[in-house]
Amino acid sequence: MKKVYRIYSLICAVALFVILQLESFAYLDPSVVTYLVQAIAGVVIAGGAIFIVLWRKFRKKVSKTLNIDENKNKTVEEDVVIKDETEQASENEEAQTQDETSSDETPKEEKENQ
């Protein structure tokens, strides 16, 4: 808790230092402003990612503590396989040849049994 308080105090001190400067005779180039915007965006995105990771860990611990199973009522769907026309044609030919060979063998077996 002390670490969080120190970080918060540091952020507040820096913010007050920046806000309370009355006069500044410095020139801010547009590239500097762009760099600052990128830095702020990076900090916000990183903070969001950290928040999401910590939130998921928290939810997982709470669910485990309360014996809540998130996957209880979920169903698994079958895999969908999309084939192009050449693969379908070759499979159809293979199936037909297998049917022909099995139908050819059946009468021979029947004749041998008689």
Residue 37 lies in a domain: yes
Look up the pTM and report it: 0.41
When divided into structural domains, the chain yields a total of 1
- Yes or no: say if 63 and 70 are a contact pair by the CB < 8 Å rule: yes
Residue 35 lies in a domain: yes
- Yes or no: say if 75 and 68 are a contact pair by the CB < 8 Å rule: no
Domain that holds residue 45: 29-69
Residue 57 lies in a domain: yes
39-94 residue pLDDT tens: 999 999 999 999 999 999 999 999 999 988 888 888 888 888 777 777 777 777 77
Distance, in Å, from the CA atom of 113 to the CA atom of 66, rounded to the nearest integer, reads: 68
